[in-house]
């Protein structure tokens, strides 16, 4: 390091997740957030007393989780008969109907992954609370970030609401204690997510890299996707596997094979989109007669019954969002592959929207699981899941993985090379 650099103040730096720009970190007021100057993505938030609050909220959530699973969820009454269901009845019903892929999906998204998240929070925060931070804590915290988008309790709740509205005309429904515990659980978990400031965890495992940064001639700066550390990688090491010195995650300049993987997954989802919409997602059997329903005919039935808001919601979640995702990801992949420099900020925003709305398409799948659990009264009224539901769930999962595979920083790489070339040309 030269003498001049030694006198410069050391300011921590962070790389934007979405455009890759390295920026200085500044202290923020409580509750404030810092956004990327180039693409507008949120870089970090200031959450006072974050770890203590998340720990308390996670303990409260764990108690609510037990209550939500131990008590009756809903009771369905029709023609003097009643069917009681718990949160896990839908999973059991799907399993009995031979739809084990859907059973596993609903179990994971609505119960298992949220539980793992809560236990993981406690596993990370309890040792930190007592000033102890073994490396396994860093690894678990890294995995919590990976499973986060797959915990879909709030989407499940929306599925419950849709199922409730659909059934109110048909029969009498009673809400159990578990519904209230489940709603409280979702509120507490959202509060815990909002209170979490990951920087406060990572700081315990090593300081954030700061300026002055090493000279660019011999090194290149990579950002760790897990802990946001900026790492100077020596150029000869570029093609070797490099691990983040702070959290141990494997480092890459850009997600490897991003465009190819995204394109392959989008193609698979497009193919599955046909059976997802053409095959019945469920069959309603009432008084011995069966009526198979596709996604679209389900929406039509809701409109026919005058349930406009719910029909619009299901239409948006099950038809608009998957199409938007497939068209959007195709557009992003093609535009990056063609080296387009058209509106990078807007394309990044499009990616951000695709990434955040994807999971809400699962509403229909959750609704079906709830209907299957509740309406199980033999020939009087029974709802059976259809093969189309498996294809539809596959479309949602594959597009979620596809949007995760896409690296939005590729949108900006072309702008960077253009700017880097400009002075050379003038010289
Ligand atoms: Zn950015
Ligand atoms: Zn890291």
Determine the distance separating the centroid of ligand 2 and the alpha carbon of 227, expressed in angstroms: 4
pLDDT band of residue 286 (cuts 50, 70, 90) is confident
Ligand nearest to the backbone CA of 409: 1
Q: Cα–Cα–Cα angle for 144, 411, 41, nearest 5°?
A: 50
d(Cα 258, Cα 329) in Å, to the nearest integer?
12
Q: Is the pLDDT confidence value at 9 over 80?
A: no
Ligand nearest to the backbone CA of 246: 2
Determine the distance separating the centroid of ligand 1 and the alpha carbon of 340, expressed in angstroms: 18
Q: Is the pLDDT confidence value at 100 over 80?
A: yes
Determine the distance separating the centroid of ligand 2 and the alpha carbon of 80, expressed in angstroms: 60
d(Cα 347, Cα 36) in Å, to the nearest integer?
15
Ligand nearest to the backbone CA of 43: 1
Determine the distance separating the centroid of ligand 2 and the alpha carbon of 121, expressed in angstroms: 18
Bridge pairing between strands 74-78 and 172-175: antiparallel
Determine the distance separating the centroid of ligand 1 and the alpha carbon of 37, expressed in angstroms: 7
Ligand nearest to the backbone CA of 226: 2
pLDDT tens-digit series, residues 16-60: 999 999 999 999 999 999 999 999 999 999 998 999 999 999 999
d(Cα 85, Cα 107) in Å, to the nearest integer?
15
Determine the distance separating the centroid of ligand 1 and the alpha carbon of 347, expressed in angstroms: 12
Determine the distance separating the centroid of ligand 2 and the alpha carbon of 394, expressed in angstroms: 31
Contacts 24+ apart (CB under 8 A), 252-258: 252/222, 252/225, 253/220, 253/222, 254/407, 254/409, 254/410, 254/413, 255/405, 255/406, 255/407, 258/405, 258/406, 258/407, 258/410
User: Looking at residue 34, what DSSP letter applies?
Assistant: E
Give residues whose Cβ lies within 5 Å of ion ligand 2.
224, 226-227, 229, 244, 246-247, 249
Mean pLDDT across the chain, nearest whole number? 90
Residue 222 in 3-state DSSP?
A: strand
Residues 6+ apart with CB under 8 A from 51: 125, 128, 129, 197, 200, 201
Determine the distance separating the centroid of ligand 2 and the alpha carbon of 226, expressed in angstroms: 5
What is the number of alpha carbons within 13 Å of residue 160 lying toward its C-beta?
26
CA dihedral angle for residue 338, residue 343, residue 347, residue 353, rounded to 10 degrees: -170
- pTM, two decimals, is 0.91
Determine the distance separating the centroid of ligand 2 and the alpha carbon of 52, expressed in angstroms: 23
Determine the distance separating the centroid of ligand 2 and the alpha carbon of 19, expressed in angstroms: 18
d(Cα 333, Cα 407) in Å, to the nearest integer?
10
pLDDT score, position 8: 61
Q: In the chain, what is the straight-line distance between the N-terminal and C-terminal CA atoms, in Å?
A: 28
Determine the distance separating the centroid of ligand 1 and the alpha carbon of 3, expressed in angstroms: 32
d(Cα 382, Cα 398) in Å, to the nearest integer?
30
pLDDT band of residue 426 (cuts 50, 70, 90) is very low
Determine the distance separating the centroid of ligand 1 and the alpha carbon of 349, expressed in angstroms: 10
Q: Is 388 in contact with 277 (CB distance < 8 Å)?
A: yes
What DSSP element (H or E) covers 384?
strand 381-385
pLDDT tens-digit series, residues 351-404: 999 999 999 999 999 999 999 988 888 878 889 999 999 999 999 999 999 999
Ligand nearest to the backbone CA of 345: 1
pLDDT tens-digit series, residues 144-173: 999 999 999 999 999 999 999 988 877 888
């Amino acid at each position: 390091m030269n003498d001049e650099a030694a006198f410069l103040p050391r300011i921590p730096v962070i790389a934007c997740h979405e455009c890759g720009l390295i920026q200085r970190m500044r202290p923020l007021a409580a509750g404030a957030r810092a956004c990327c100057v180039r693409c507008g993505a949120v870089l970090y938030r200031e959450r006072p007393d974050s770890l203590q609050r998340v720990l308390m909220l996670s303990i409260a959530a764990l108690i609510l989780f037990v209550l939500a699973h131990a008590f009756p969820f809903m009771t369905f009454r029709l023609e003097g008969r009643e069917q009681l269901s718990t949160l896990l009845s839908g999973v059991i019903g799907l399993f009995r109907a031979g739809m084990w892929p859907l059973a596993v999906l609903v179990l994971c998204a609505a119960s298992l992954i949220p539980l793992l998240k809560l236990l993981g929070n406690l596993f990370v925060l309890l040792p930190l609370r007592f000033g102890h931070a073994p490396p396994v804590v860093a690894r678990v915290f890294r995995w919590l970030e990976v499973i986060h988008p797959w915990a879909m309790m709030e989407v499940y709740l929306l599925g419950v609401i849709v199922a409730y509205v659909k059934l109110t005309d048909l029969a009498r429904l009673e809400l159990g204690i578990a519904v209230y515990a489940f709603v409280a659980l979702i509120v507490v978990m959202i509060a815990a997510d909002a209170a979490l400031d990951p920087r406060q965890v990572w700081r315990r495992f090593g300081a954030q890299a700061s300026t002055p940064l090493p000279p660019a001639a011999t090194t290149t700066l990579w950002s760790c996707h897990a802990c946001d550390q900026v790492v100077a990688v020596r150029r000869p090491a570029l093609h070797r596997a490099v691990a983040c010195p702070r959290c141990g995650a494997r480092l890459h300049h850009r997600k490897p094979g991003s465009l190819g993987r995204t394109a392959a997954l989008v193609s698979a989802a497009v193919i599955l989109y046909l059976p997802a919409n053409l095959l019945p997602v469920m069959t309603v059997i009432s008084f011995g007669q069966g009526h198979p329903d596709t996604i679209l005919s389900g929406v039509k039935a809701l409109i026919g019954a005058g349930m406009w808001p719910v029909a619009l919601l299901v239409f948006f979640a099950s038809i608009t969002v998957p199409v938007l995702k497939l068209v959007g990801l195709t557009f992003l992949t093609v535009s990056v592959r063609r080296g387009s420099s058209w509106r990078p900020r807007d394309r990044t925003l499009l990616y951000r929207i695709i990434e955040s709305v994807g999971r809400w398409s699962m509403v229909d799948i959750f609704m079906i699981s709830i209907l299957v659990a509740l309406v199980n009264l033999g020939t009087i009224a029974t709802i059976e899941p259809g093969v189309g539901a498996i294809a539809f769930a596959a479309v949602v999962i594959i597009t979620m993985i596809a949007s995760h595979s896409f690296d939005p920083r590729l949108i900006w790489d072309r702008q960077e090379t253009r700017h880097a070339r400009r002075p050379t040309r003038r010289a």
